[in-house]
Structure 1
Amino acid sequence: MDTDVLIAGAGPTGMTVANELRLAGVSTVLADQLSQRSELSRAGGVQSRTLEALDQRGLLEPLLATGNYPAATGHFAGIALSADHARQRLPWRSVPQVKIEEFFEHHLAAHGIHVRRDHQLTGLAQDEHGVTATFAHGATIRCRYLVAADGAHSTVRSLLRAEFPGRPGTATVIAADVRLSGAEGVASHTWSDDGQWVALFPLGTDPQGRPLRRLVLGGPGAPSRDVPVTEDEIREGLRAVFGTGVRLLELRYGRRISNAARQAARYRHGRVFLAGDAAHVHLPLGAQGMNTGMQDAFNLGWKLGAAVHGWAPEDLLDTYHTERHPAGAAVLRNVMAQSLLMDWTGAREPETAAVREIFSDLVRLPNVQHYLADLQSGMAIRYPMPGTDDHPLVGRPSPDLGLGPVRVHELLRSGRGVLLDPDGTFAKVADLWSDRVDRAGQGADVEPMLIRPDGYVVWAGHADDLEPALTRWFGEGRGTGPRGLRVSRP
Structure 2
Amino acid sequence: MTAEVLVVGAGPTGMTMANELRLAGVSCVLADRLSRASELSKAGGLQSRTQEALDQRGLLEPLLATGDYPVSTAHFAGTLLPLVRTRHQFPWRSLPQVMLEGFLEKHLAAQGIRIRRNHELVGLRQDADGVTGTFADGTAIRAQYLVAADGGRSTVRKLLGAEFSGRPGTATTVAADVRLSAEVPMHTITPEGYRAQVFPLGVDAEGRPLRRLVLGGPGWSLERDVPVTEDEIRTGLKTVFGDRVELVELRYARRITNAALQAAQYRHGRVFLAGDAAHVHLPLGAQGMNAGIQDAMNLGWKLAAAVRGTAPEGLLDSYHAERHPVGAAVLRNVQAQSLLLDDGPDSAAARSLFAELVQVPEVQYLLDDMLSGMGFRYAMPGSEEHPLVGLPAHDLGPELRAGRGVLVDPGRRFGELAARWADRVNRVETGTEAMLVRPDGYVAWAGAPDGLEPAIRQWFGAPVG
Superposition TM-score tier, normalisation by shorter sequence: over 0.9
Residue in structure 2 matched with residue 304 of structure 1 by the alignment:
303
Deviates more, 1:327-336 or 1:189-198: 189-198
Residue in structure 2 matched with residue 366 of structure 1 by the alignment:
361
Corresponding position: 1:238 with 2:210: no
> C-alpha deviations, 1:68-97, integer Å up to 9, x for none?
111111100000011544421111111100
Residue in structure 2 matched with residue 428 of structure 1 by the alignment:
416
Residue in structure 2 matched with residue 210 of structure 1 by the alignment:
208
Corresponding position: 1:375 with 2:377: no
For 1:419, give the aligned amino acid: L
Residue in structure 1 matched with residue 146 of structure 2 by the alignment:
146
The separation in 1 between residues aligned to 2:248 and 2:374, in whole angstroms, is 38
Do the aligned partners of 1:14 and 1:149 also contact (CA within 8 Å) in 2? yes
> C-alpha deviations, 1:308-335, integer Å up to 9, x for none?
1110112100000000000000000000
> C-alpha deviations, 1:84-121, integer Å up to 9, x for none?
44421111111100000000000001111000011010
The separation in 1 between residues aligned to 2:231 and 2:352, in whole angstroms, is 33
Using the TM superposition, give the Cα deviation of residue 194 of structure 1 relative to its aligned residue in structure 2, in angstroms.
3.6
Aligned residues: 464
Using the TM superposition, give the Cα deviation of residue 189 of structure 1 relative to its aligned residue in structure 2, in angstroms.
2.1
Do the aligned partners of 1:420 and 1:449 also contact (CA within 8 Å) in 2? yes
> C-alpha deviations, 1:150-187, integer Å up to 9, x for none?
000000000000000100100000000000112x2x33
The separation in 2 between residues aligned to 1:440 and 1:190, in whole angstroms, is 49
Gaps of 5+ in 2: none
> C-alpha deviations, 1:324-361, integer Å up to 9, x for none?
00000000000000011122xx23x2x22222211111
For 1:477, give the aligned amino acid: P
- Secondary structure of the residue that 1:315 maps to in structure 2? coil
Do the aligned partners of 1:229 and 1:254 also contact (CA within 8 Å) in 2? yes
The separation in 2 between residues aligned to 1:151 and 1:291, in whole angstroms, is 13
For 1:215, give the aligned amino acid: L
Do the aligned partners of 1:179 and 1:212 also contact (CA within 8 Å) in 2? yes
Relative to structure 1, the CA distance from residue 284 to residue 389 in structure 2 (aligned partners, 3 Å threshold; closer, same or farther) is closer
Do the aligned partners of 1:72 and 1:83 also contact (CA within 8 Å) in 2? no
- Secondary structure of the residue that 2:25 maps to in structure 1? coil
Using the TM superposition, give the Cα deviation of residue 188 of structure 1 relative to its aligned residue in structure 2, in angstroms.
2.1
Residue in structure 2 matched with residue 448 of structure 1 by the alignment:
434
Do the aligned partners of 1:389 and 1:461 also contact (CA within 8 Å) in 2? no
For 2:138, give the aligned amino acid: G
Residue in structure 2 matched with residue 485 of structure 1 by the alignment:
none
- Secondary structure of the residue that 1:331 maps to in structure 2? helix
The separation in 1 between residues aligned to 2:431 and 2:257, in whole angstroms, is 51
- Secondary structure of the residue that 2:164 maps to in structure 1? coil
Do the aligned partners of 1:40 and 1:98 also contact (CA within 8 Å) in 2? yes
Do the aligned partners of 2:84 and 2:364 also contact (CA within 8 Å) in 1? no
The separation in 2 between residues aligned to 1:467 and 1:27, in whole angstroms, is 30
* TM alignment of 1:323-362, pairs within 5 A: 323-343=322-342, 346-347=343-344, 349=345, 351-362=346-357
The separation in 2 between residues aligned to 1:128 and 1:317, in whole angstroms, is 15
- Secondary structure of the residue that 1:283 maps to in structure 2? coil
Gaps of 5+ in 1: 401-407, 480-490
Do the aligned partners of 1:418 and 1:437 also contact (CA within 8 Å) in 2? yes
Using the TM superposition, give the Cα deviation of residue 246 of structure 1 relative to its aligned residue in structure 2, in angstroms.
1.1
* TM alignment of 1:379-394, pairs within 5 A: 379-394=374-389
Residue in structure 1 matched with residue 93 of structure 2 by the alignment:
93
Identity within the alignment, % = 66
The separation in 2 between residues aligned to 1:103 and 1:28, in whole angstroms, is 19
The separation in 2 between residues aligned to 1:93 and 1:122, in whole angstroms, is 37
Do the aligned partners of 1:124 and 1:131 also contact (CA within 8 Å) in 2? yes
For 1:211, give the aligned amino acid: P
> C-alpha deviations, 1:373-420, integer Å up to 9, x for none?
1101110100000121400000000121xxxxxxx2210001110001
Relative to structure 1, the CA distance from residue 31 to residue 451 in structure 2 (aligned partners, 3 Å threshold; closer, same or farther) is same
For 1:383, give the aligned amino acid: Y
The separation in 2 between residues aligned to 1:85 and 1:477, in whole angstroms, is 44
- Secondary structure of the residue that 1:252 maps to in structure 2? strand
Do the aligned partners of 1:124 and 1:134 also contact (CA within 8 Å) in 2? yes
TM-score w.r.t. the length of structure 2 is: 0.98
Residue in structure 1 matched with residue 250 of structure 2 by the alignment:
251
Relative to structure 1, the CA distance from residue 30 to residue 244 in structure 2 (aligned partners, 3 Å threshold; closer, same or farther) is same
Residue in structure 1 matched with residue 314 of structure 2 by the alignment:
315
* TM alignment of 1:31-430, pairs within 5 A: 31-82=31-82, 84-182=84-182, 184=183, 186-221=184-219, 222-343=221-342, 346-347=343-344, 349=345, 351-400=346-395, 408-430=396-418
Do the aligned partners of 1:49 and 1:378 also contact (CA within 8 Å) in 2? yes
Alignment match of 1:461 (pick from 436, 439, 447): 447
- Secondary structure of the residue that 2:176 maps to in structure 1? strand
Do the aligned partners of 2:83 and 2:364 also contact (CA within 8 Å) in 1? no
Corresponding position: 1:3 with 2:9: no
- Secondary structure of the residue that 1:434 maps to in structure 2? coil
For 2:310, give the aligned amino acid: W
Do the aligned partners of 2:408 and 2:431 also contact (CA within 8 Å) in 1? no
The separation in 2 between residues aligned to 1:136 and 1:84, in whole angstroms, is 48
Residue in structure 2 matched with residue 482 of structure 1 by the alignment:
none
For 1:332, give the aligned amino acid: L
Using the TM superposition, give the Cα deviation of residue 371 of structure 1 relative to its aligned residue in structure 2, in angstroms.
0.9
For 1:248, give the aligned amino acid: L
> C-alpha deviations, 1:408-465, integer Å up to 9, x for none?
2210001110001112111111111111001111xx4511100000000000000111
The separation in 2 between residues aligned to 1:255 and 1:354, in whole angstroms, is 30
Do the aligned partners of 2:421 and 2:464 also contact (CA within 8 Å) in 1? yes
Using the TM superposition, give the Cα deviation of residue 219 of structure 1 relative to its aligned residue in structure 2, in angstroms.
1.4
- Secondary structure of the residue that 2:249 maps to in structure 1? strand
- Secondary structure of the residue that 2:421 maps to in structure 1? coil
- Secondary structure of the residue that 2:46 maps to in structure 1? coil
